[in-house]
Amino acid sequence: MKITFVTGSQNKYDEAKQIISDLERQDLDLVEVQGIDPKPIIAHKFEEAKKVLQGNLVVEDISLYFESLGGLPGPLIKWFMKTIGNDGLVKITESFDNPKATAKCIVGLSKEDGTLEYFEGSIDGYIVKPRGENGFGWDPIFQPAGWDKTFAEMTQEEKNEISMRRIAFQKLKDYLK
Amino acid sequence: MKITFVTGSQNKYDEAKQIISDLERQDLDLVEVQGIDPKPIIAHKFEEAKKVLQGNLVVEDISLYFESLGGLPGPLIKWFMKTIGNDGLVKITESFDNPKATAKCIVGLSKEDGTLEYFEGSIDGYIVKPRGENGFGWDPIFQPAGWDKTFAEMTQEEKNEISMRRIAFQKLKDYLK
């Protein structure tokens, strides 16, 4: 079963391909609707993707939830990154005196028969001052619970063993079997 | 020239109608794409609106920019309101020790001939602890520069004399003459 991951991000594709080795890619940035619930965002991405692509399509949405912000940044994390960045995110959690955060990856599979499946990966952790040089995005400020390293201090292999993306794509892989 | 304001918000329509008295309304919530720049959001709203409506259409986008957050919340303000609300917004500005904010209203006019015009209203002010019972949304925490009242402490007439929505719809009104 040929599966195409529709994403504008080489980093995300690289991580996903380590889990599903024959995953193909379409380099396409899809319009994202506003919201703090990922599933409607994914459903809308598929509407856009299916205008130009056929077959079994995969899209993902990454969200980062701060316990102190009740739903934020959520899927809007990319706009927080573009504006206040990691330093600003740390400052917010410090001011709310609550570093707890949950990182989620929701993977959607739109099948040729028209049906839609979701696979969710979630990992709890803490927002910390930036540490580490690996990874991308907010990896330097996210330290998974039970670890003394941030994502950016882990090797790619370590991160990819435990990440929210790993969990979600592993569920997709199991489903495809 | 018949103009239809497409908005799901009765409050916004009421304020706009005080400026353009023969403004009509279509009660329709349009999909908003993610972003911190209002114009693409408005352009996408028109794409959606024109699937079901004809004629001269007006949509608006309200954004609230915190100087300390370099672009946030911007058009994403509604999601900040739904999650952390006014108290959370105040807490963020306090932690960044910078209460300066700018409220913007961008009004888009999509004309029957297919052209698109934008009208911008902007007002500088400060984020303060909530005061006042009038208005809606973040009116209680926005105090325009040069005033000792928040929007929510003003009468509807006072707010509507000076607000970002007033400035933008007044420009639209002048354009229509």
pLDDT at residue B146, rounded to an integer: 97
CB environment A13-36: b (16+ within 10 A), e (fewer): bebbebbbeebebbebebbbbbbb
Q: What is the pLDDT of residues A16-56, one digit of tens each?
A: 999 999 999 999 988 899 998 999 999 999 999 999 999 99
What angle, rounded to 10 degrees, do the helices at B85-95 and A85-95 form?
110
Q: Does B36 touch chain A (CB under 8 A)?
A: yes
How do strand A100-110 and strand B116-127 relate by DSSP bridges?
unpaired
pLDDT at residue B64, rounded to an integer: 97
ipTM computed for the complex: 0.84
Distance of alpha carbon A77 from alpha carbon A66, whole angstroms:
10
Which SS3 state, helix, strand or coil, does residue A62 take?
strand
Q: How far is CA A48 from CA A68, A144, A169, B52, in A?
A: 33, 33, 22, 19
What whole-number percentage of chain B has pLDDT above 90?
Answer: 93
Q: Does A96 touch chain B (CB under 8 A)?
A: yes
Judged by CB atoms closer than 8 Å, whether chains meet at B94 and A91 is answered as no
Judged by CB atoms closer than 8 Å, whether chains meet at A96 and B94 is answered as no
Q: In terms of C-beta density within 10 A (0-12 exposed, 13-18 middle, 19 or more buried), how is residue A52 classed? A: exposed
Q: Are A106 and A169 in contact (CB under 8 A)?
A: no
Measured between CA atoms, how close is B73 to chain A, in angstroms?
Answer: 9
Which SS3 state, helix, strand or coil, does residue A104 take?
strand
How do strand A56-66 and strand A73-74 relate by DSSP bridges?
antiparallel
Among the partner-chain residues A69, A83, A88, the one whose CB lies closest to the CB of B83 is A69
Judged by CB atoms closer than 8 Å, whether chains meet at B34 and A78 is answered as yes
Q: Are A85 and A130 in contact (CB under 8 A)?
A: no
DSSP H or E segment with residue A92: helix A85-95
pLDDT over 90 at A1, yes or no: no
pLDDT at residue B1, rounded to an integer: 83
pLDDT over 90 at B71, yes or no: no
Q: Which residues from chain B sit within 8 angstroms of residue A77, using beta carbons?
A: none
Among the partner-chain residues A33, A69, A94, the one whose CB lies closest to the CB of B31 is A33
Q: What is the pLDDT of residues A79-119, one digit of tens each?
A: 999 999 999 999 999 989 999 999 999 999 999 999 999 99
Q: Does A19 touch chain B (CB under 8 A)?
A: no
| For residues B112-127, average pLDDT | 96
Judged by CB atoms closer than 8 Å, whether chains meet at A31 and B33 is answered as yes
> What average pLDDT is seen over chain A?
95
DSSP H or E segment with residue B62: strand B56-66
Q: Which residues from chain A sit within 8 angstroms of residue B80, using beta carbons?
A: 72
pLDDT at residue B149, rounded to an integer: 98
User: What is the residue whose two structure tokens read 């003394």?
Assistant: A148
- The A residues from 100 to 159 touching B (CB cutoff 8 Å) are none
Q: Does A175 touch chain B (CB under 8 A)?
A: no
DSSP-assigned states of every residue in B83-149: HTHHHHHHHHHHHTT--EEEEEEEEEEE-TTS-EEEEEEEEEEEE-S---SSSSTTGGGEEETT-SS
pLDDT at residue A59, rounded to an integer: 97
pLDDT over 90 at B51, yes or no: yes
Q: Does A72 touch chain B (CB under 8 A)?
A: yes
pLDDT at residue B173, rounded to an integer: 97
Residues contacting A125, CB < 8 A, separation 6+: A100, A101, A102, A103, A142, A143, A144, A145, A147
Measured between CA atoms, how close is A88 to chain B, in angstroms?
Answer: 8
| For residues A140-153, average pLDDT | 98
pLDDT over 90 at A140, yes or no: yes
